[in-house]
């Protein structure tokens, strides 16, 4: 257990950040899942709108330090390539 006041505050702050980060990661995963489900269903328009909803969430994850930028870039690239294949 922490003995200093600053260490106790740090523990509380870390727990708050952990919960916020957990919620944000969950939201990102849900958005990506919606895009993948639309692609599997073969619905081009739904997949495009789902990707437009997921893209800002993924980029926000990068700016908040939850996800790595290359991971997000790879995910977006693969999803958009799948949607492009769907259109053809």
- Residue 44: the pLDDT is 95
Output the pLDDT for position 58.
97
pLDDT score at 1 = 79
Token digits for 82? 């799948």
What are the mean pLDDT values of the chain's consecutive 10-residue runs (88 residues total)? 91 97 97 96 95 97 96 97 91
Return the CATH number of 11-87, one of 1.20.58.110, 2.40.160.60, 1.20.140.160, 3.40.50.10900.
1.20.58.110
Extract the tokens encoding 73: 């870039």
The residues near 58 (Cβ < 8 Å, ≥ 6 apart) are 28, 31, 32, 67, 72, 75, 76
Q: What is the pTM of this model?
A: 0.87
């Amino acid at each position: 257990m922490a003995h200093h006041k600053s260490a106790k505050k740090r523990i509380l702050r870390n727990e708050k950040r952990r919960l916020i980060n957990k919620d944000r990661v969950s939201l990102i995963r849900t958005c990506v899942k919606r895009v993948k489900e639309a692609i599997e269903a073969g619905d081009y328009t739904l997949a495009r709108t789902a990707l437009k909803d997921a893209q800002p969430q993924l980029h926000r994850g990068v700016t908040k330090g939850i996800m790595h930028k290359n991971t997000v870039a790879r995910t977006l690239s693969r999803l958009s390539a799948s949607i492009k294949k769907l259109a053809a």
